[in-house]
Amino acid sequence: MKVRTSPPAKLNLFLEIPAKRNDGYHEIDTVMTAIDLRDELTVESIPEPVIELSASWLPSFEDVAGELGLEPNGEAAQQLLGIPTDDRNLVVRALEAFRRQFAIEGGFRVQLKKRIPAGAGMGGASSDAAHAISCAAAIHGKADEHAVLHELAASIGSDVPFFLPLAADALPEPAVWACHASGRGEILRPVNMRTDLHFVVGYPCASLPTIDVYRRLRVPQQPMTSTGLIAALDHGQVDGLSTTMMNRLSEPALEILPELSELLESLWQSGLQPCQLTGSGSACFGIARDAEHAQQAFEQLRAIHSAPTLWRATRSVSAAASIEFDPS
């Protein structure tokens, strides 16, 4: 049996770090929305007890390297855009954990086609892992076991549960396009968004390892709260986002990669407001008034921003992509 899905990226509209935990993790207070920048994932059950993963870039490795000003055959492109296909990839870890959890005798053959860059703070690896779990659950009839699947996802990574479907009774009306996460990221609460949000996202020719950013983090004595942002989203007050959005990891990320200030300035100069880092970076984004404004800003940024950057115009979507069965 074979299934397909399209894992989306995410953006952090708010990210505070209230405390460091005794287990070495940090407490987080974050509001995330998924966006329509998607990888493509195909998962097929096989009789052999192994995980076979192949991975590539869309539209091609050469095209993505070119956008970033890299020589496709050069070492820098390989380091930035190389995709591991062993257990360094969260998809492999997630499916191995699924096999152990449900005592699955067979394995999976997986094809992963990437659009979401790594080390960007956009949750690409976490989304791929979560959707691999959802695909495996669909194949083996475990899709209704929400609590078990969410616990399994949390064991893979803090962001992973965000991309799984929530139980139907946890979803308010209308459709949910955002989520509040606390704990180390595994405690999720749906957030109403009364209007679609449109973005332009920029990824520079550099990744930021999360561990390096957190090492430089100074936990605030008086942390901010996401309450104001959640209220603005719930009331559809896009204008209210400029005073309620923030990211505590911006300062350490800028210390490591000072050129991010130029990227944020370009976003702001194109009329996108507010603008900020997502996650631990290195991607940054700005909010547009509507889809037309996002497209105009996207074209302007591609024309005037001097540093090689992956620019994408996108919008808010559901974090859990649909799973389609392949009839072939």
> Per-residue confidence of the chain (328 residues) as pLDDT tens digits?
999 999 999 999 999 999 988 887 899 999 999 999 999 999 999 999 999 999 999 999 999 999 999 999 999 999 999 999 999 999 999 999 999 999 999 999 999 999 999 999 999 999 999 999 999 999 999 999 999 999 999 999 989 999 998 765 455 555 557 999 999 888 999 998 888 899 999 999 999 999 999 999 999 999 999 999 999 998 888 888 999 999 999 999 999 999 999 999 999 999 999 999 999 999 999 999 999 999 999 999 999 998 999 999 999 999 999 999 987 6
Residue type, 217: L
pLDDT at 168: 56
CB 90 within 8 A of CB 157: yes
pLDDT at 169: 46
- What's the pTM? 0.95
Residues 6+ apart with CB under 8 A from 103: none
For 8, the token pair is: 């989306």
CA-wise closest residue to 279 among 58, 78, 117, 130:
117
Q: How far, in Å, CA of 326 to CA of 283, rounded?
A: 34
Q: How far, in Å, CA of 286 to CA of 316, rounded?
A: 13
| CATH 3.30.230.10, applies to 2-193 | yes
Q: How far, in Å, CA of 86 to CA of 77, rounded?
A: 19
Residue type, 283: A
Torsion of CA 18, 22, 23, 28, to 10 degrees: -10
Q: Which CATH architecture has domain 198-316?
A: 2-Layer Sandwich (3.30)
Distant-in-sequence contacts of 185-188, Cβ < 8 A, 24+ apart: 185/28, 185/30, 185/154, 185/158, 185/159, 185/161, 186/150, 186/154, 186/158, 186/161, 188/150, 188/161, 188/162
113 is annotated as an active-site residue: no
CB 327 within 8 A of CB 3: no
Q: Which residue has the tokens 């332009």?
A: 200
| Catalytic annotation, pick one of 2, 10, 114, 142 | 10
Q: How far, in Å, CA of 174 to CA of 233, rounded?
A: 13
Q: How far, in Å, CA of 82 to CA of 112, rounded?
A: 13
pLDDT at 326: 85
Instruction: Please state the domain extents for the chain.
Output: 2-193, 198-316
Q: How far, in Å, CA of 224 to CA of 16, rounded?
A: 7
159 is annotated as an active-site residue: yes
